[in-house]
């Protein structure tokens, strides 16, 4: 049925200019060879398209489904439970399922028998890393194709196609600006383009657009990969002692709508893992930042977060305690839990006393300097070392104090 002008105007611009064939499809050149092979084949395999929003996953799924000439049904996981899905699948063997990651692991098992016996072909899309969001059993039955965000030049092509559909155009500078802030997301770009072309011509300059565009210009992908990529970049910038990069990624997270508590939890981890004993005040500061954000809320919470991010980036770094635990963990996992020396065990019952629990334990506080030489590690571990100090920040001072203290306590008394 031919759409009327009114109906067409109500369609989102992204749907109105959706490619009708592979010639019109923009982006993903790294996948073209495989896609061409699928189009030439007699049988389409089940596929999973993984990538950020607005990069062409659903469009390519539709093009491949249409190329088979078979009837197909398209369903969005957030809108359909399994009962609805079963009804829609009746009489169809080809299913396009958007946002597969929104199905629970149990719901994903629904597809296994059909994929196993060939009664269903699935083309699914996800914005979340399938290694974590899709069951291993289902993943093993799908060909995974990874999509990337559209490049700046590809977005320019999308923008020009959108302008042609709307019968209006922006200046080169305004178009470049919109493409630059769209984050590789064609759908966001087209929404912004439609908004910008609704403004008077004098208000379409980059300067005016920067002040008046809706907040959707920053793509918040809190459940997807960019959420974790930005968090990872923040922590790695702190670890690399780059306060400017750390502040940038903090701003990216907060401006995209990230939960500030997620950020402050990451900062507490970084304070322990990356700064550690090189600056023992780093962890209290990160905890204080978390409490401050809880108390004052946003947007003011960005102030203590910025202070903490810069402090952690500038602080001396030592991962000695993180590495020490990893070494101890490896020992336990490889060789199991070894028996605790009898003198360190609590003798809670008379029978345990008979067995020797607690016998010959020496209470350090009963000795000068609150220290006495005795064995703590299990005998089977010998003189095993887990903690290897680093010459960073306060750690050498802490180590020098304990070594000096123990050296003085070990000296024989003067006669």
Q: Identify the pLDDT of residue 304.
A: 95
Q: Is residue 62 part of a domain?
A: yes
**Of 125, 146, 167, which residue sits at a domain end?**
146
User: What is the pLDDT at residue 227?
Assistant: 66
96 contacts: CB under 8 Å, gap ≥ 6: 58, 61, 62, 65, 72, 73, 74, 75, 123, 124, 125
CB atoms within 10 A of CB 255: 13
Which tokens in the block code for residue 180? 């630059």
- The verdict on residue 214 lying in a domain is no
Query: Is residue 397 situated within a structural domain?
Result: yes
- Give the Cα separation of 179 and 181 in Å (integer): 6
Q: How, if at all, do strands 94-98 and 121-126 pair? A: parallel
Token representation of residue 365: 């506080």
Q: Cα(134)–Cα(125) distance, rounded to whole angstroms? A: 11
Look up the domain containing 59 and give its range: 28-146
Position 223 scores a pLDDT of 47
Q: How many angstroms separate the CA atoms of 245 and 234, rounded?
A: 7
CATH assignment at residue 139: 3.40.50.300
**What pLDDT sits at residue 85?**
84
Last residue of a domain, one of 146, 176, 207: 146
Number of domains in the chain: 2
User: Is residue 364, in this structure, part of any structural domain at all?
Assistant: yes
Q: Look at residues 146, 178, 193 and tell me which one is the last residue of a structural domain.
A: 146
Q: Which residues in the chain show pLDDT less than 50?
A: 1-7, 216, 219-223, 415
With b for 16 or more beta-carbon neighbours within 10 A and e for fewer, the 127-140 pattern comes to bbebeebbbeebee
Which residues make Cβ contacts (< 8 Å) with residue 113, sequence separation at least 6?
Answer: 119
Integer Rg of the chain from CA: 30
């Amino acid at each position: 049925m031919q759409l009327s002008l009114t109906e067409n105007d109500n369609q989102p611009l992204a749907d109105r200019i959706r490619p009708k064939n592979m010639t019109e499809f923009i982006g993903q050149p790294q996948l073209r060879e495989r896609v061409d092979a699928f189009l030439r084949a007699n049988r389409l395999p089940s596929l999973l398209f993984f990538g950020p929003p607005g990069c062409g996953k659903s469009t390519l799924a539709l093009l491949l489904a249409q190329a088979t000439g078979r009837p197909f049904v398209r369903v969005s996981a957030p809108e359909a439970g399994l009962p609805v899905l079963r009804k829609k699948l009746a009489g169809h063997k080809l299913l396009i399922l958007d946002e597969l990651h929104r199905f629970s692991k149990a719901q994903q098992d629904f597809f296994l028998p059909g994929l196993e016996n060939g009664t269903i072909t699935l083309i699914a899309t996800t914005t979340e890393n399938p290694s974590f969001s899709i069951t291993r059993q289902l993943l093993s039955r799908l060909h995974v194709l990874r999509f990337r965000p559209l490049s700046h030049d590809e977005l320019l092509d999308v923008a020009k196609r959108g302008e042609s559909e709307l019968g209006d155009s922006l200046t080169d500078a305004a178009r470049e600006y919109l493409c630059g802030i769209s984050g590789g997301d064609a759908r966001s770009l087209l929404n912004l383009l439609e908004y910008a072309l609704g403004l008077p011509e004098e208000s379409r300059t980059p300067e005016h657009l920067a002040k008046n565009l809706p907040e959707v210009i920053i793509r918040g992908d809190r459940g997807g990969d960019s959420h974790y990529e930005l968090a990872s970049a923040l922590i790695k910038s702190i670890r690399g002692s780059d306060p400017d990069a750390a502040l940038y990624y903090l701003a990216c997270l907060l401006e995209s709508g990230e939960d500030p508590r997620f950020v402050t939890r990451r900062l507490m981890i970084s304070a322990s893992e990356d700064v550690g004993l090189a600056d023992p005040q780093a962890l209290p500061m990160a905890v204080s930042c978390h409490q401050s954000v809880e108390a004052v809320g946003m947007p003011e919470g960005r102030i203590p977060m910025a202070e903490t991010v810069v402090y952690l980036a500038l602080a001396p770094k030592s991962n000695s305690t993180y590495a020490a635990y990893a070494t101890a963990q490896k020992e336990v996992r490889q060789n199991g839990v070894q028996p605790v020396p009898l003198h360190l065990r609590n003798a809670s019952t008379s029978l345990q006393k008979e067995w020797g629990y607690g016998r010959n334990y020496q209470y350090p506080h009963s000795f000068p300097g609150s220290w006495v030489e005795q064995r703590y590690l299990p005998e089977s571990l010998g003189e095993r070392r887990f903690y290897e100090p680093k010459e960073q920040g306060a750690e050498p001072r802490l180590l020098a104090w304990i070594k000096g203290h123990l050296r003085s306590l070990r000296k024989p008394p003067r006669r």
